[in-house]
Chain A
Amino acid sequence: MLRRTLLATAAAGLGLMATAAASAAAGMDHVKACFVYVGPIGDGGWTFQHHQGALAVKEAYGDKVEVQWQESVPEGADAERVLTQMALGGCNIIFTTSFGYMDATNAVAAKFPNVMFEHATGYKREHPNVSTYNARFYEGRAVVGTIAGRMTKTNKIGYIASFPIPEVIMGINSYYLHAKKVNPDVQLSVVWAFTWFDPAKEADAAKALIDQGVDVITAHTDSTAPLAELAKTPGLVGFGQASDMEAYKPLPRVSSIIDNWAPYYVKRVGELLDGTYAQTDAWEGIAGGEVKIGEITDAVPPEVKAEAEALRDAIAAGTYHPFTGPINKQDGTPWLAEGQVAPDGDLLGMNFFVEGITGAIPN
């Protein structure tokens, strides 16, 4: 029985594809929204939050949408097959939620011009049916960087980085700049894990940092393993990444950067339903609600909490940009002059550390 309904929706989807140019403008009665995840939903971080967004779409439109997803899809040849299967299966809009799906998304989009593709954190929009979306996570990094600078006792803070891509480098720079601003003696150690989701590797990276005397760690990987590792030693500080990771409150998790994809997903599927959908390159931050700062716990002194919240509110109000000059590059050459705000293009292609960070970006 289930199969029959599936085939019926698939057939409906194919029918829509045939007339998509017209129907996109006229809106749709029913949308099948599909999501490709790089990790398991149970990662408690990145993928979990995307899945929350997917569920919000279902919540918002009820019977008018069908939501499908596939977990733990490897980036590469397998992603291309999964995307093709989804497009064939009648998905009207496919969200590919990891940077590594970029080439696969564009390749499959070329074959299915009537299916809309939304690629998270990428920059390639080779076809009119490919949109990209991202969130200004560096805004959140500025807030937790401030807390990190205030909370460290050893003046050594750590960062578990995933891959040397602009997205990650941007976060490291923002975190460091704001820690340094409140604590000029702070030193940052970066460990490259070369994975998005591998709890064992993430825990090893945290361990390596702790062994170096680091007492505040933030992660750009997807699991809760770094927090679990921090929790083993009393007094160490960490942050929820992608998801609130509230299980580790009040210590080591003193705050978190929450990815909130629900507003974007609900908006895009809604646009497809009412016919206002158009290609875009979305990049919202704290102001738009895509990036949220999780509750700052009582482990943080009240004045630090107030300082961090003031920074968050200034960013939300648009009165402060985390990358405001003067900022020099690592090699000492000037990047931003006094008062100058970083253009988005510089951020999206960022391949350098700012002055003061030791160690090189692996390349």
Chain B
Amino acid sequence: MLALEKRPNPSRFWLYATPVVAVALTMVAGGVMFAILGKNPFEVVRTIFWVPLFGEFAWYLRGQLLVKAGPLILIAVGLSLGFRAGIWNIGAEGQYIMGAIFGAAVGLAVFPTENRLIFPVMILAGLFGGWIWAMIPAILKTRFNTNEILVSLMLVYVAQTILAMASTNFLRNPEGSGFPGSRNFSSYPAASNPELIAGTGIHWGVVTAVFVVVAAHVLLQRHLLGFQIKLAGQAPRAARFHGVSPNRLVVLCMGVSGALAGVAGLFEVTGPAGQISIDFNVGYGFTAIIVAFLGRLNPVGILFAGLLMALTYIGGEMAATNLGLPSAAIQAFQGMLLFFLLAVDVMTNYRIRFAAMGAR
């Protein structure tokens, strides 16, 4: 018989081995699925994980990895702080949208003025847009004890409706002959977020993501606040005795994660996406939750997890086009990754005992 036995302390080995084992298991199980679909599983797994990095067009695709990973990392680092403290912001997608709308609105309001200060002010507006949207569930939780998971999630749908309004109404391109969508920022240099070095995919959002990873790492390792966040998650009672105010922590963690999601939206709308459009959001806010856990809620881990997730997207696209796989198979493959991660994660806190039937 198999039995699960709680470990006295979480296993350090499994803490770090979990993502690696999960990725390996995903490759195996995914391979079986691809084989059932009639494709060569080695070919598919190779196309997903190897070709974007070292294949013929790696010079282009490596940059695209950064474009895709940037917002994921930026959002996931913010979320991980809250997750560590047991504060569940599930609505990063909405905060991402609101950051983009606030930031874009500032830029479009002063069109076509050229001034060096415009983009920095837009970044502040993006931070503010995400922050204010996250403050709604935060304040409702601290004042009225509502569930932040539900409120933040519901606000995603509100944000999507505001996005539809923005692109058909108040941010619509006045020269777009009635078509929905704002002006394209690529033709407005003062407000755009172009590639900093051509061909690398690096834009200000990617730079910010790396900076945020370092800042979060320092915060968690060296600062009292970081200690309080970790303590609140592991031992809420002990944290209270230590003088940690739970309400203050909720406002802080929701605020930081909201602001980071918002600024990710701002960098996306001014850079890769180019404009506010009805379907501007493509799920970064939700995928970032997977990235946060895949990275073990650790900033450096999230950096790698974000790159890995981006790899499955871009490699998955390659596999879909080149090998004729349905896009649903790629989504199932990504789903397996989270599934195995959570399954293997059991090993961190439990150990498996092989016991003879009835021996207890």
Contacts and interface: CB of A to CB of B under 8 A. Distances in A.
B293 interface: no
Contacts of B178: 164-166, 349, 351, 363
Contact of A77 (B56, B268, B317, B320): B268
A194 B169 CA distance: 13
A163 B61 contact: no
A13 to B, nearest CB: 12
B10 interface: no
A87 B103 CA distance: 33
Contact of B60 (A40, A84, A165, A351): A84
B274 interface: yes
Given A74-B282, A75-B279, A6 B322 contact: yes
A362 B168 contact: yes
Interface residues of A, number: 38
Interface stretch (A65-73, A135-143, A239-247): A65-73
Contact of B169 (A71, A81, A363): A363
Interface in A70-110: 70-72, 74-78, 80-82, 84-86, 88-89, 100, 103
A76 B281 CA distance: 9
A81 B317 CA distance: 10
A165 B178 CA distance: 7
B327 A76 contact: no
A228 interface: no
Interface residues of B, number: 40
A126 to B, nearest CB: 12
Contact of B282 (A69, A78, A82, A88): A78
Interface string B159-187: 00000100011001000011110001000
A40 B328 contact: yes
Nearest to A352: B178
B101 interface: no
Interface string B310-329: 00001001101111101110
B64 interface: yes
Nearest to B42: A3
Interface in B61-117: 61, 64, 67
A165 B321 contact: no
Nearest to A78: B282
A85 B273 contact: no
A327 interface: no
B192 interface: no
Given A40-B327, A194-B278, A363-B169, A88 B57 contact: yes
Nearest to A82: B317
A77 B273 contact: yes
B40 interface: yes
A163 B180 contact: yes
Interface string A334-363: 000000000000000101000000000011
Contacts of B131: none
Interface string B277-291: 111101000000000
Nearest to A351: B178
B273 to A, nearest CB: 5
Interface in B314-354: 314, 317-318, 320-324, 326-328
Contacts of B321: 34, 68-70, 82, 85-86, 89
Contact of B320 (A71, A88, A164, A165): A71
Nearest to A3: B43
Contacts of B177: 349, 351
B272 interface: yes
A7 B327 contact: no
Of the listed residues A80, A85, A166, the one surrounded by the most CB atoms of chain B closer than 10 A to its CB is A85
Given A10-B56, A34-B321, A77-B67, A72 B179 contact: no
Contact of A76 (B279, B314, B328): B279
24 contacts: A3-B46, A3-B47, A69-B321, A70-B327, A71-B326, A75-B279, A76-B274, A76-B279, A76-B280, A77-B67, A80-B272, A82-B317, A82-B321, A85-B61, A85-B317, A85-B321, A86-B321, A88-B57, A88-B60, A103-B274, A103-B275, A195-B279, A349-B177, A362-B168
* Nearest 6 pairs of A and B residues by beta carbon: A77-B272, A351-B178, A71-B327, A72-B327, A70-B321, A74-B282
Given A77-B272, A81-B67, A88-B57, 17 more contacts: A3-B47, A6-B322, A40-B326, A40-B327, A40-B328, A68-B321, A74-B282, A75-B277, A76-B279, A81-B317, A82-B321, A85-B317, A85-B318, A88-B56, A88-B60, A100-B277, A165-B178
